[in-house]
Amino acid sequence: MQPVSIISRRFFLKNSAALTIGALGLASMLNARAGEEPLIAYVGTYSSPLHNVGPTQVDLPPGNGRGIHLFQVDRATGVMSPRGVYEQATSPSCLAFDSSKTHLYSANETDRSGDSGSISAFAIDRANGELKLLNTVSSGGAGPAYLSIHPSGRFVLVANYFGGSVAVLPILADGSLGAATDIKKDVGTVGPKKATNAPGGSFAISGHDQAHAHMIQADPSGRFVLHADLGLDQIFVWKFDQQTGVLTANEPPAISLPPGDGPRHFAFHPNGRWLYSLQEEASNIVLFDYDSTNGKLAQRETLSSLPPGFAGSSFASEIMVSTDGRFVYAGNRLHDAISIFSVGEMGALTFLGEEWTRGDYPRSFDVEPSGTFLYSCNQRADAITAFRIDRKSGGLVFTGHFTPIGNPSIIVFLDLGKAK
């Protein structure tokens, strides 16, 4: 496999126009296919001026988004065309489909009802992708920043960042949400403001003032639920009762990361045996072996999410494993690039290169269903940028396409042709 080179931004700017023209020529032929169903992208944004709800939150500017934005994606070129907006002034910063992709759920991060944020449930019109609000319920804590769907399809799992708690919400027969079946408050020792493994010269300080549940997801079997708390520098593991929706502490109940490193997001390898944890303030990746029979994690390897020799401040943001399990992608804010790693036979990572995101503060990224294009949500740049994926090398090539949108936070995709 040929390594992905670290190529200058000037090179890409000089050559992106030619790449785009070639792609558009191909698009004119491919788009001639009759009867092709639309591919819809849903983009969650920061859409509320009430972002400064915590003294250390440096990544939440005034909300320039309008809610959940809908786009139609050109399957050949990756170009996104506006299709509508579901107006929502509560910062739906995280989105997730149910297992049938007939419903969409949003974590409304800046919605504050007393001490709690909220989660909204939407029905999707599968003829055109439009959203219809079903209901909105309490998230069980302030500032819900992440949600995921349990593999059973019966529950929404929520991480409340500002509340330092996680919650389980039942999905009712019509796709709406019920009141929480369980809420757990994170308990532990808050880590130091300076990360143990921070890059040289880093001033990356974010959430070490209290507990901050940042991500929650079930393992592939659904028997265990894991969640990362950035402020406590821990990944918690819970046994999950799929009948009652109740969480019970595993043994051990959590695994600790180095003080101050700040675990943010994690991703399972498709084989279910390896888990990659991304630390926000250390900007590094920890590989764990995962035992699905007892929900135990065993740390094996740590490496930087940044290129060799990097120094300065960086906030790592998102981590993703390719569907074929051959590559891992990690986002780095301030440095504004996505690092690319190959996955070895035993799960170990090798840095291949990186791609500049062409925008400030890539909060998250995702790949559309065909695996052809990756989209980076550049939060502070108010734009999403599209990259063509080289499936052999794992490399990313900028398509030259920018989609303007205020404070994009997350993008998810629905293939209407496969949703029926």
Please check whether residue 305 is in contact with residue 197, taking contact to mean a CB–CB distance below 8 angstroms: no
The pLDDT tens digits of the residues spanning 250-261 come to: 999 999 999 999
**pTM reported for the whole predicted model:** 0.90
What integer is the mean pLDDT of 222-235? 98
The pLDDT tens digits of the residues spanning 77-130 come to: 999 999 999 999 999 999 999 999 999 999 999 887 668 999 999 999 999 999
Q: 340-343: long-range contacts (C-beta < 8 A, 24 or more apart)?
A: 340/4, 340/394, 340/395, 340/396, 341/285, 342/1, 342/394, 343/269
pLDDT at 296 > cutoff 80: yes
11 phi, psi to nearest 5 deg: -60, -45
- One-letter amino acid at 92 equals P
pLDDT at 16 > cutoff 60: no
- What's the mean per-residue pLDDT of the chain? 90
Neighbouring-strand partners of residue 103: 123
Sign (positive/negative) of CA torsion 149, 150, 153, 158?
A: negative
Please check whether residue 65 is in contact with residue 45, taking contact to mean a CB–CB distance below 8 angstroms: yes
**CA 282, CA 278: separation in Å to the nearest integer?**
9
